Amino acid sequence: MSLNLLILGSGSALPTLNSNQTAQVLETESEVYLIDCGEATQIELRRHKVRVQRLNHIFISHLHGDHFFGLVGLLSTMHLLGRQKTVHIHGPQGLEEIVRIQFRNAGSHLSYEMKFHTITKGDELIHEDKYVKVTSLELNHRIQTFGFLFEEQPKPRKLIPEALAKYKIPNYARKSITQGEDYVDPDGKTVKNALLSTDPEPSRRYAYCSDTAFYEPLIQRIENVDLLYHESTFLDADIERAKATYHSTAKDAARVANLAGVGKLLLGHFSNRYKNREGFLQEARPIFLESHIAEEGERYSF
Ligand SMILES: [Zn+2]
Ligand SMILES: [Zn+2]
C-alpha cells in the first residue's frame, strides 16, 4: 500500500475563501498524522472525511499562527466528541504553554490526555511506531522552525513460494525469513535467506519543509526522498521580500528539490498577493521538472 498525502491548506498567513492556512495529513495503512494545523483545519478534515479521533500524533512546525491557530479548536472538538485516547503533540518550545493556558482559562477539563513532546533541535528522532519514523529537520526561518522527515519502517522481505516448497520450509519459520533470517532445519542444515526471499518494497520517504528560506544544510538531510513539500511563498519578482521574511521563492524550492534529487516536489504556502499559481510552476519547472502545486483537497499517493 502506498502513502497518501492530503493537502488541507496550502496558503500562507492570510486565510481567504479560496485558500486555507497550512495543514496536511499523511495517511499510512492504519495511522494518520496531522502536520501543522492552521485555521479551518478541523472543517477541512471533516470535508475530506478524515475522522478527528483517528489522529493520535500532531506535528507543529513553528509558532507562527498560520501553522497552529486551528489546534485548540481541534483539540476541543476531540473533547466534545468524548475522546479517551491520548493525543501526542510534537512541536517547539512554547506550544504546550499556549494550548494549556487557553483550556485552563476556559475552565475546561479535557476527556483525554494531551501529551506534549517538545522538539529542541533538528536531526532528532521525534516519533517512531510500527509504520513510520519521524525525524525533525532544522529550517531557516524568523523563529525556530522544524520540518519533518517521515520514513516508512522497513517492510518484510517477499517469500518465494516455489522455494518454500522446494526446501520444505514449515509455516512457523516463514515470519523469520521475511525478517531476513536464514532457515535452519531440525538437523542443523542451513538454507540461505537469499534462496527463499527477495528484497522488500522500498520504504517511502516524505519531507515537509515549511517555513524556510533557501537552506543549504537541508539538502543532504532530504536526499532522494520520494516526495518533498517545500514552501514557495513568493515569486522571483519579490525575492527581496522573501529574504527579509525568511521565506522561499518557487525557484528556491526547485533548487532544493533538484540538488536533493527528490522524486517529486509539491510547492505550497503561497502568498495571497498572487491571483493564480501558474507563475510558481513557470519559475520552478525549468529548474526541477517534477514540480507541482499543492492543491487543497488533493491526495498525493507515493
Ligand atoms: Zn507560515
Ligand atoms: Zn512562519
Distance, CA 92 to ligand 2 centroid (Å)? 13
66 is catalytic: yes
Confidence of residue 30 (pLDDT cuts 50, 70, 90): confident
pLDDT of residue 198: 94
pLDDT, tens digit, 9 for 90 and up, residues 73-88: 999 999 999 999 999 9
* Range with the poorest average pLDDT among 83-97, 111-125, 180-194, 281-295: 180-194
Distance, CA 244 to ligand 2 centroid (Å)? 12
- Ligand nearest to C-alpha 9: 1
The domain spans of the chain are 4-155+201-299, 158-198
Distance, CA 90 to ligand 1 centroid (Å)? 17
pLDDT of residue 29: 85
Confidence of residue 18 (pLDDT cuts 50, 70, 90): confident
Span 121-130, average pLDDT? 96
DSSP 234: B
DSSP one-letter string for 68-125: TTTHHHHHHHHHHTT--S-EEEEEETTHHHHHHHHHHHTT---SS-EEEEEE-SSS-E
Span 121-131, average pLDDT? 96
Q: Inform me whether the pLDDT recorded for 15 exceeds 90.
A: no
Confidence of residue 1 (pLDDT cuts 50, 70, 90): low
Distance, CA 297 to ligand 1 centroid (Å)? 19
pLDDT of residue 258: 98
What are the phi and psi torsion angles at 112 (to 5°)? Answer: -140, 175
Top pLDDT among 149 and 202 is at 149
> Which grid cell sits at 270?
503561497
Q: Inform me whether the pLDDT recorded for 70 exceeds 70.
A: yes
Span 51-58, average pLDDT? 96
Confidence of residue 2 (pLDDT cuts 50, 70, 90): confident
Distance, CA 242 to ligand 2 centroid (Å)? 12
| Cβ burial 188-201 (10 Å sphere, 16+ → b, else e) | eeebebeebbeeee
Look at phi and psi of residue 188 and say left if phi exceeds 0, alpha if psi is from -120 to 50, else beta: left
- Ligand nearest to C-alpha 233: 1
Distance, CA 296 to ligand 1 centroid (Å)? 16
Confidence of residue 13 (pLDDT cuts 50, 70, 90): confident
Distance, CA 247 to ligand 1 centroid (Å)? 9
Residues 36, 66, 226, 252: which is the catalytic one?
66
Q: Inform me whether the pLDDT recorded for 49 exceeds 80.
A: yes
What are the phi and psi torsion angles at 135 (to 5°)? Answer: -120, 140
Distance, CA 294 to ligand 1 centroid (Å)? 15
- Ligand nearest to C-alpha 212: 2
- Ligand nearest to C-alpha 62: 2
- Ligand nearest to C-alpha 141: 2
Distance, CA 148 to ligand 2 centroid (Å)? 15
Tell me which of 3.20.20.70, 1.10.8.640, 3.60.15.10, 2.40.30.70 is the CATH number of domain 4-155+201-299: 3.60.15.10
Span 157-185, average pLDDT? 93
Strand extents, DSSP E, the chain? 4-9, 23-27, 32-37, 55-59, 87-92, 114-119, 125-128, 132-138, 146-152, 158-159, 183-184, 190-191, 197-198, 205-209, 227-231, 264-268, 291-293, 299-301
